[in-house]
A and B are shown apart, each in its own frame.
Chain A
Amino acid sequence: MTLATHDARWSAGGRMIVDGITLSAAPNRILGLIGPNGSGKSSLLRLLCRLRGVASGVVTLDGRDIATLPRRELARRLAFVEQQATTDIQLTVCDVVRLGRTPHRAAFTSWTEADEHAVSAALERVGLAERHDQPWHTLSGGERQRVHIARALAQDPRELILDEPTNHLDIQHQLSILRLIRRLGLTCIVALHDLNLASLFCDQIGVLHAGKLVASGPPENVLTPGMIRQVFGVEVHIRNGAGGRRHIEYVVDVEPDERP
């Protein structure tokens, strides 16, 4: 048992953004959340890591209501990687990763060997060990995302929540970020846009539509032409490609040689 929600609701500006969602993540597996823009993915992730409080329902971690956990204790268990978080402050890569040790350190305590070890291990795991002293502003989008993941790993979490970690990255970096997440072996909950990537990298998929969970289960059961038509309003063919991998093809009524 790990992170779960039971009938979680959250509204903003009089509109129900998360409307009675019940789901649970499997330990050490990747749960992908997909859905159109504004379907409530980001808001649900923020409820899961208690950046917002549920209006009704409950979010549990190992069966305990997370609203009852001290914030620091929660941050030692569960890490969150935001979409494209950046800063104007002149930080280096290791300055950023060190922030991950915040929940482990009391005020006025010095930096310890254990902290230093956690930071270098985290940088090692995301493949940026040699970038230790590089200024944050000189990194590419993909590298920044890796540094954020390293910062999250330095928190020493068992659950990792990522909000569209592949957004605005080229396809090579999208794949390498998702491969990295897959290798971590943590319980991950990831919001994704690309249906093929979701089907390729997630163990379970939850589909959100207008704040409700409309389907959940293994990718092959969830990503059907009927479901995609209903939620995204797009026609698709699903083909079994090389290695038994499923490939979702969008049916678009544009002839290859059509010009405006």
Chain B
Amino acid sequence: MSHAVIGPNWAARIGVAALALAALIFAVALAVSVGEMAIPLPVAFRALGNGLFDLGLPVSAIQQGVIFDYRLSRAVMAALCGGALAVSGAILQALLRNPLAEPYILGVSAGASTGAVCVMVLGFGSATLGLSGGAFLGAVAALAVVALLATGAGGASDRVILAGVAGSQLFNAATATIVTTLASAEQARGVMFWLLGNFGGVRWPDLCVATPVALIGFVVCLVHAKALDAFAFGADAAQALGVAVTRVRLVLLATTALLTATMVAIVGTIGFVGLVIPHAARFLVGPGHARLLPACLVIGGIFMILADILSRILVPQQILPIGIVTALFGAPAFAVILYRARRPA
């Protein structure tokens, strides 16, 4: 803990990064092998090798297809989504100085789904890019509404959560109104299924949008790691330390809106990951953002892959919405974290 801000030497850093990457690859391999058609891990690795590097290893065509076109894209999307939501949560918690801040609670996800539903139902182009664009506008609108409400209510950090709850309700109501009044029955069913969050429909073109957004967003956040540390004692303290508070806030809030919106557009709204993972990561690597943000990316990614696996195997012949699984397993984990990290009186 004492050297949480400095970090160890480069050898240790590379070691930790290699370990994290290995854990991530193992989680992906597990996700690929588990399913209605169980595929042994060695076959899964061979199929990955074939798909990625064209090695020509012996794998049946059906297995190759299931693994590469369905399960791998799904696992990679889960990793990106978990990582992006966890990083967004960590950023919002630091900027707003509230441990409960995260995209779902602040209504950013609700705003993004309203935007995406507008595009879907009213039909301004329905490609992933169109959906993501609509979701981004919705997310920015939600952040603006929440920021206005919170500032109007006195600007204290606890007001932000109240404003977020109000914003969430407003945008969820807007989504419901659009769906019930304007959508066809078939569209409505599709929207409702998508809103609960699921990775079922993810294909490689979705990843062509999600991957660059997640990586660029993550780098933007990482560049601001020191500025985020400086927010520990509030915005005035950060500004007195030479941080351009207004610019950093704008850039990072826009980045979290973009990350959240992209994920919502592709997989729907998933709660809890943005809240729990940053706390778990802080518990493991300390509060310094130069380490916390990479930790959130990796732990969030692994958590979401595992949650997706569980959503597929928990109830036989049925896939649970991913949001239910993240909450089922996230809530007790959160309770343990809270209990163990409690302050001595």
Contacts and interface: CB of A to CB of B under 8 A. Distances in A.
A binds B: yes
Given A86-B233, A99-B230, A102-B229, A92 B240 contact: no
A179 interface: no
A207 interface: no
Contacts of A86: 233
A137 B7 CA distance: 22
Interface residues on A, range: 35 or more
B242 A71 contact: yes
Contacts of B233: 82, 85-87, 96, 99
B241 to A, nearest CB: 4
Interface string B327-345: 0000000000000010110
B6 interface: yes
B287 A102 contact: no
Interface in B275-319: 282, 287-288
Contacts of B176: none
Contacts of A87: 97, 232-234
Looking at chain B's contact residues, the main secondary structure is: loop
Contacts of A133: 1-2
Contact of B5 (A71, A111, A132, A155): A111
Interface residues of B, number: 32
Interface in A78-112: 79-80, 82, 85-92, 94-96, 98-100, 102-103, 105, 107-108, 110-111
A91 B2 contact: no
Contact of B2 (A90, A105, A132): A132
Contact of A90 (B5, B6, B241, B287): B287
Contacts of A99: 229-230, 232-233, 237, 241
Interface string A57-86: 000000000000001111110011010011
Contact of B237 (A72, A85, A91, A111): A85
A239 B7 CA distance: 57
14 contacts: A49-B240, A51-B240, A71-B239, A71-B244, A72-B242, A73-B242, A80-B237, A87-B233, A90-B287, A95-B288, A99-B229, A99-B241, A107-B224, A111-B6
Interface of B: 1-2, 4-7, 97, 99, 223-227, 229-230, 232-234, 236-237, 239-244, 282, 287-288, 341, 343-344
